[in-house]
Amino acid sequence: MLTKERPIIPVFFAAAGTVLCLTLNSNDDCLSSIQVNGVVSTDFTDNSSGQVNMSSADPDAIFLMQGTFSAIQNDGTFNYRTFDGRVLGAIQSRGDFQPFSVAGNNGGERISRIHPDLICLAQNTGGGSTEFYQYYLASEDHSNTQHNLLMNIFDMPGTWVLGTGSNTINEVPICGDSFTVTEGVTHGEWTGESNVDWFNCANWENYAVPDSTTDVIINTDTPDKNCDIDIDTYSATAARYGNVAYCNNLTIQGPSTGDDKKLIIEANNMNLLKVNGNLTISGYGLLDMDDGNPGSLDGTLQIKGNWDNQVGEAQFEEGNGSIEFNGDIQQQISANGAAEIFYNLEVDNSAGVLLNDDIEVGGITGALTLTDGVITTGSQKVYVTNISAASAITGYSESSYVNGNLRRKILSNGTYPFPVGDGTTTGNYKRMNVIASGLDLSGSPDYLEVKVESFTESGNDIDANLVATQSGSLLTNALESGLWTVTPSNSTISAGTWGAQLYVQNISNLSASDDNKFTVLKRTTGSTDYADWDSFDDDGTSIPSENTAGRIYDSGDGYAEKTGFTSFSELIIAKSPVVLPINLLDFSAQVNNDVVNLDWITLSEENNNYFTIERSGTDGDFKEIARIQGADNSNDKLYYNHIDKKPLQGCSYYRLKQTDYDETSTYSKPVTIYFNHMTNENKVYYSNENRQLHLYLNNNGNNNVQIYSSDGKMIYSSPLSDNDTSTISVSDLNLSKGVYIVKVFSNTETTSTKFVVY
């Protein structure tokens, strides 16, 4: 494009592959001619002599540009065109270069965007006063591949000669020559002809550093070429590209045998590669982000497409680097059946990420950052190996979590968030926290894996089968929209306990009206019977005080909390129609000679008026035997006791009733004792705690046991060994709640007693 002192800037459009020759006349600041493919063009004629004025007094210039121009417009004074594109080069006659962005004599702007790749095609005259242009040697190759012809342009000393200030037009013959391209170039193919610098255009087959539209292929089998590619902001030319490397699809590949073909993004956490498409590692390709220094951060790779490691985990050296998934459609991670290991991994894609293989994140100090979008694991898992409870997983929310299996390495103490869900919408987010309290699992390392799902009540999985109580209050509704499963690295707990915080967000049938009425239940993983749900409040678990975190809905941000568990399995939130008034740690009964000692412990009390001790025989008819004053309100551990000086003969049951000032009452689970001073007779009693019949035999031989329902129907019969004691698991008999009769027969006597299944 020729800029002149005219309202309209003349424009000549040249097709790709056109050879332009500019013939200079140094004596009168004119271009003798502009030749297009060896033919003098009249499109640029400026004076009567057929020459183009290049006056040094005016900012006259010829710009070689790539882009588009608008139609002619008028600003009220001048006609003008606007330009959208980039400037590839320029020739000016004035002493100081005036960029295209500076206004000319007649207004308008010359927008200069000199492309950084021109370093590969730069024309430097050498600075002599009589050496002001160069031209291509006629003896050099004019017919070759596009890559080799471009290489000749790059090879200034070997293929170009300096012109002088004379009027001899030495370059005219070359302008008439034709150039034949025998083969095109592969854009984005690495050659490594100069060094290992990504930002050096001489290392690419088309002599252009890739941009976001370029598919990059790293695969050179030539022994003398550089196979290690370094993305480093300390590169001499990186600043020309904003210190950021770009490409569309990136393929790092190699032959079936041989040295790795490496792409290196390391040594500086400012080193950044943005992959606009897919990343593929195959053959002997290697993505290296490890500078060998564990104390410093390495580079960053941002990817909008899929991660496809077709070789395996060994071909990605994560170092202390960062991988960011920030696409617009769902992205996938594959690692040829292996677990891909990342140091820092960020998901910032509202469409989410799908795992085709396991991933590990975090190393020792790295992190999983969930900014936006859901990771869907399917049968795979996310394993966070950083043991920091607070910093190993960050940024999670209802719009960014793990849909599926999340595993975390843990220490003996700490609260570990598990941001999990059972789908990909905001309504599927169902977070859980695990509280480790001196916890030590057998073996090493210690980890826990959590998933959550929802289900529909059916069969025996129905509220009608619930028998669990919390502090004596029957829990009547298990909330099936959240079923959490916790799987440990080893089911054996060597020391300590653990607790759960199950978040109420997105749990149906729960609101602020249920404050202090809900808690955590646990049962064996895989059970399909609500009768198996248990509060474990008789086994040392505890819940927070009323109206505190762990007991309240808190506008949907609350959670149900229970601590003191000593095994791992399924968890659910369940609620009672009444407030769970006290936190009862223990209630026990123990025969002591002629009396029964009754002891109980509370961790907290609120509005607690009094306790009532009730006792029943085998008929299940509980009657009050004592009343003990409560502590009103307390957050301290309190100890209570009572002595039953006149216990019932044989099997009997005790339970604790707690009454608030508003006369609201709740009950503990019944405990069982057997009181009998008579000797030499069979003794039988049933324990509701472990759902077993305990038989103490007199060893007269030929013992047999039979169990009858209350209507006289025999439902069990079996011979017994001659051992002194024997037990029968009532759970195995699938007995429903009610009164039963057990009879033990021997050679000399028959013992009959009732027992109650609660």
Distance of CA 738 to CAs 330, 467, 757, Å? 56, 13, 5
Instruction: Verify that 628 and 647 share a domain, yes or no.
Output: yes
pLDDT for 118 equals 54
Distance of CA 273 to CAs 135, 211, 218, 234, 361, Å? 38, 11, 14, 14, 20
Q: Identify whether 55 is part of a domain.
A: yes
Give the closest residue to 373 by CA, choosing from 344, 395, 392, 340. 395
Instruction: Verify that 136 and 221 share a domain, yes or no.
Output: no
Instruction: Verify that 594 and 551 share a domain, yes or no.
Output: no
Burial (CB count within 10 angstroms: exposed 0-12, middle 13-18, buried 19+), residue 594: exposed
Q: Which residues pair with 711 in a beta bridge?
A: none
Instruction: Verify that 173 and 272 share a domain, yes or no.
Output: no
How far apart CA 633 and CA 653 sit, in angstroms, is 29
Q: Which residues pair with 375 in a beta bridge?
A: 353, 402
Instruction: Verify that 304 and 221 share a domain, yes or no.
Output: yes
Instruction: Verify that 266 and 209 share a domain, yes or no.
Output: yes
Q: Measure CA 56 to chain center.
A: 63
Q: Identify whether 398 is part of a domain.
A: yes
pLDDT for 25 equals 56
Name residues whose C-beta falls within 8 Å of residue 378's C-beta, 6 or more positions apart in sequence: 354, 355, 404
641-652 burial string, b = 16+ CB within 10 Å, else e?
A: ebebeebbebbb
Domain boundary among 362, 392, 414: 414
483-500 burial string, b = 16+ CB within 10 Å, else e?
A: bbbbebbeeebeeebbbb
Q: Identify whether 383 is part of a domain.
A: yes
Burial (CB count within 10 angstroms: exposed 0-12, middle 13-18, buried 19+), residue 477: middle
Instruction: Verify that 10 and 147 share a domain, yes or no.
Output: yes
Instruction: Verify that 345 and 446 share a domain, yes or no.
Output: no
Q: Identify whether 171 is part of a domain.
A: yes
Instruction: Verify that 424 and 399 share a domain, yes or no.
Output: no
Q: What is the domain count for the chain?
A: 5
Instruction: For 239, list phi and psi in degrees, rounded to 5.
Output: -60, -30
Instruction: Verify that 489 and 609 share a domain, yes or no.
Output: no
224-247 burial string, b = 16+ CB within 10 Å, else e?
A: eebbbbbbbbebebbebbebbbbb
pLDDT for 235 equals 84
pLDDT for 748 equals 67
Cis peptide preceding 445, ω within 30 of 0:
yes
How far apart CA 696 and CA 674 sit, in angstroms, is 11
Instruction: Verify that 213 and 352 share a domain, yes or no.
Output: yes
Q: Which domain holds residue 635?
A: 582-673
Domain boundary among 579, 601, 629: 579
pLDDT for 169 equals 43
pLDDT for 237 equals 81
pLDDT for 419 equals 98
Mean pLDDT by 10 residues, the chain (758 residues): 38 67 57 70 59 56 68 71 63 51 40 48 44 65 83 76 51 58 86 87 88 88 69 81 91 68 72 94 87 85 96 90 96 96 97 98 94 98 96 97 98 96 97 96 94 95 91 87 97 94 97 94 95 89 87 95 96 87 75 87 84 86 91 85 88 87 79 72 67 69 79 83 67 76 76 75
Amino acid identity for residue 111 in this structure:
I
How far apart CA 527 and CA 570 sit, in angstroms, is 9
Instruction: Verify that 219 and 354 share a domain, yes or no.
Output: yes
